[in-house]
Structure 1
């Protein structure tokens, strides 16, 4: 048998090693570039969030407070900013009901807010929104006088929505007489007491309070004909009512 000729190994000339050195150098430069790019992205001085734009109808929300809070809780670069966490931070603010947050290239942040709509002051130190949910926010006397008028509602814990709905039902009935509720008290036994803007206090009891309030509205013209000032009206009767008159001291 004839032997096969031995295959010669390919020679690796200087061009091969030159190419290999170039390839390795390219990889090293790429790794160094990625490390520097990552450091740059994490450096807030290189890519800080500079422009925070707040939008949405706002009466009580302070834009500067939102901006300061975002910068405090998200001090990193634009690329490192956590949108979900920022969204939760904004929604946790007292006057914010809902919000959305999105980045805007190259260094901006857009924040859209839906403000809480205060419907009443609850137990003297909280507020109720339009859905009867209590939220802890401060409202100044100046705002109450200039921006909004709110009734004072009082009741046991857990009765917020019941109290607000009862107030709305009664207020819609009183509007025909140009009266409005200043304060409303809902007792532990769910008995209703209200004070009107004319100073009259109404005791409506636990049941059929709307019908009893209607009775008061119907008889108000007759009561108003009296020369004495009304202090309170007790409507906890199947028919009729009891009127308490102000004394001279109270009337003064």
Structure 2
């Protein structure tokens, strides 16, 4: 009777090395997978930002400009795009007052913007928003400026909010009439001068300029009854005022 050879069980040592080899192979496989996935994620062609949606009420903000700016400053894949940096870039645009940015899976970007609200032209070359903050944006179309009816304010640096508040207080007083401030000048010594839509210039001085403007409003019906055209009114008096009349040459 022949004997059947018995299979020897693998030793514990050989089992350990087999398991170790399997574990090492698994680790290598995972590392290769992570490297390839990371390379894929970094490849703009594999996961580009395909759709940028700009929302919010806007008149002067250019959606195309925002899209081009984001793609130029945040080149890379959807996954690599830095939302915080994009937010800062968009808010740095002159006409953007506030912005929020978020990714939209799988390849979109949503940008919500709050546009600056222009309140006045400042020193001929800049704009003031409704809070009296300067923003360096130009309105290239004169027709748009005329439509917005923005007053022109002039003053020393740092006086923007004072000038805007002074303008608002004076215009509020003039709202009961058909007069509007088209230009306002605030000197280095904080003396107020304004020009009205009818061409009359008012010198209000440094102090009590609201009371002095009220004096003009009270006396304007009497002044306007004169046959001559008013050039300027000097209100820098405790009582009364001085009127400068246009000459015949000025009226031509």
TM-score, reference length from structure 2: 0.92
| Residue 11 (str. 1) matches residue 34 (str. 2) | no
Alignment of 1:76-225 (within 5 A): 76-140=76-140, 141-146=142-147, 148-225=148-225
Between the aligned partners of 1:202 and 1:56, the Cα distance in structure 2 is 41
Residue deviations 1:76-130 (CA, integer Å, cap 9, x gap): 1111111111111111110111111111111111111111111001111111111
- Equivalent residue, structure 1, for 2:4: none
**Deviation readout 1:138-188 (Å, 9 max, x if unpaired):** 112132134x11000000111111100000000001010111100000001
Note the aligned Cα RMSD (angstroms).
Answer: 1.7
How many residues are paired up? 243
What are the ranges of 5 or more consecutive residues in structure 2 without an aligned counterpart? 1-8
- If the length of structure 1 is used for normalisation, what is the TM-score? 0.92
SS in 2 for 1:251: coil
Unmatched 5+ stretches in structure 1 = 1-8
Give 1:249 deviation, angstroms: 1.5
Where in structure 2 are the equivalents of 1:225-244 lying within 5 Å? Answer: 225-244=225-244
Query: How far is 1:19 from its partner?
Result: 5.4
Question: What is the CA-CA distance between 1:25 and the residue it aligns to?
Answer: 3.0
- Tell me the distance in 2 between the aligned counterparts of 1:164 and 1:203: 17
Question: What SS does structure 2 have at the residue aligned with 1:189?
Answer: coil
Distance 1:182 1:120 in 2: 10
Distance 1:207 1:98 in 2: 37
SS of residue matched to 1:250: coil
